[in-house]
Amino acid sequence: TTKIRIGIAGYGNLGRGVESALAQNGDMELVGVFTRREPGQLKLLGNAPVLHIDDIGQYQGKIDVLILCGGSKNDLPEQGPALAALFNTVDSFDTHAKVPEYFEAVNQSAEPAGNTAIISVGWDPGLFSLNRLFGEAVLPEGATYTFWGKGLSQGHSDAVRRVPGVKAGVQYTLPVPEAVERVRNGELPQLSTREKHKRECFVVLQEGADAAAVEQAIVTMPDYFADYDTTVNFLDEETLRRDHEAMPHGGFVIRSGTTGQGNTQVVEYSLKLQSNPEFTASVLVAYARAAHRLNQMGQAGAKSVLDVPPGLLSPKSAAQLRKELL
């Protein structure tokens, strides 16, 4: 059987994670990495071809699924619709407030081209979304809570790096202990966004940049920081590299509800990630398999993880899954 031919668009933490995840999936092969930078400057883990993204049109018909690894703040809003017109795609778009409009924009490109585009793949949005859905579908009377961290959010770190005057930076998400405590005690509390998490940024300024202006641009940023108590710490590049290279993360989704005869039921799904990008990339690769199959089944247009039958994620046949997992 022929392998599923994969392309990577954008080579950062996620792109590198996809490259290494593909090596763990024998039914797939990496055809090429596409970058907006000078291809020769990229240092890959393996020896796949690296091309400038402007040349990606030549690869139509040679790639079964293109995995988009750009940043959600600035890259995917433009790359998502543009590339879904040319290829089947999966991406990790995670600006939650903008998902409906992004879905529409990608669908308008993918559908007419007969391409399948699964958006917002990863863990949140992604696997956490699925567990929020299971929880409220099964326990209609109840409450759902999502907590992240303490860990490095790649979406928020990308957003920090895009602020004018920022040379490098990362963002950590910290759950508020009292909020977690009250949820775990089954109090079913009403918690505002601000009451659940705090955000802590570490930023290297560009030469001559105004620290106060950068801090203000971060803490007021809509969809990313405005609704949270956010702190910004400034440090030099050496310290950032020394103390903030690792990208651990994690969190959990909890659904607490009562069933028809008044019994309390609690569902929990949790992640402990040593590498956020490698895990997210592994989710993207499983959904690339599903995107390829959905397209073969004639299911074109934009999808989210909530639309994808879970069996399509596995390299095993439906019969094998029934035998092994049911």
Ligand X SMILES: N[C@@H](C[C@H]1CC(C(=O)O)=NO1)C(=O)O
Q: Which amino acid is at 118?
A: I
| Structure tokens, 85 | 């017109």
304 forms part of the interface with ligand X (CB under 6 A): no
Q: State which of residues 124, 292, 302, 303 lies at the interface with ligand X (CB under 6 A).
A: 124
CB 113, min distance to ligand NDP, A = 22
Tokens 């920090």, located at residue: 160
CB 210, min distance to ligand NDP, A = 23
251 forms part of the interface with ligand NDP (CB under 6 A): no
282 forms part of the interface with ligand X (CB under 6 A): no
Please answer whether residues 84 and 108 qualify as being in contact, where contact means their C-beta atoms are separated by less than 8 angstroms: no
Please state, as a whole number, how many other Cβ atoms lie within 10 Å of the Cβ of residue 264. 12
Which span (39-47, 122-130, 200-208, 291-299) binds ligand X, by CB under 6 A? 122-130
Sheet order of strands, 249-258 included: 142-148, 249-258, 264-273
State the virtual CA torsion across 128, 100, 21, 154 in degrees, nearest 10: -80
User: How many angstroms separate the CA atoms of 192 and 229, rounded?
Assistant: 12
Nearer to ligand NDP, 171 or 256 (CB): 171
Which span (10-18, 57-65, 183-191, 197-205) binds ligand NDP, by CB under 6 A? 10-18
What is the x/- site pattern for ligand X, positions 132-151, by CB under 6 A? Answer: ----------------xx--
Residues 123 to 142: which contact ligand NDP by CB under 6 A? 123-126
Please state, as a whole number, how many other Cβ atoms lie within 10 Å of the Cβ of residue 55. 11
Residues 148 to 207: which contact ligand X by CB under 6 A? 148-149, 153-156, 173
**CA dihedral sign, ordered 205, 206, 207, 209:** negative
10 forms part of the interface with ligand NDP (CB under 6 A): yes
Please answer whether residues 189 and 179 qualify as being in contact, where contact means their C-beta atoms are separated by less than 8 angstroms: yes
116 forms part of the interface with ligand NDP (CB under 6 A): no
15 forms part of the interface with ligand NDP (CB under 6 A): yes
**In the chain, how many H helices and how many E strands?**
11, 14
Which span (24-32, 118-126, 138-146, 252-260) binds ligand NDP, by CB under 6 A? 118-126
Q: State which of residues 109, 116, 131, 154 lies at the interface with ligand NDP (CB under 6 A).
A: 154
Sheet order of strands, 166-175 included: 151-152, 166-175, 197-205, 229-234
Nearer to ligand X, 199 or 255 (CB): 199
User: How many angstroms separate the CA atoms of 312 and 314, rounded?
Assistant: 6
Please answer whether residues 49 and 32 qualify as being in contact, where contact means their C-beta atoms are separated by less than 8 angstroms: yes
123 forms part of the interface with ligand X (CB under 6 A): yes
Binding-residue total with ligand X (CB under 6 A): 13
Nearer to ligand NDP, 64 or 94 (CB): 94
Angle at 74 between CA 71 and CA 78, to 5 degrees: 100
Per CB under 6 A, residues contacting ligand NDP are 10-15, 35-37, 53, 69-72, 75, 92, 94, 120, 122-126, 154-155, 158, 161, 276-277, 280
Per CB under 6 A, residues contacting ligand X are 94, 122-124, 148-149, 153-156, 173, 249, 276
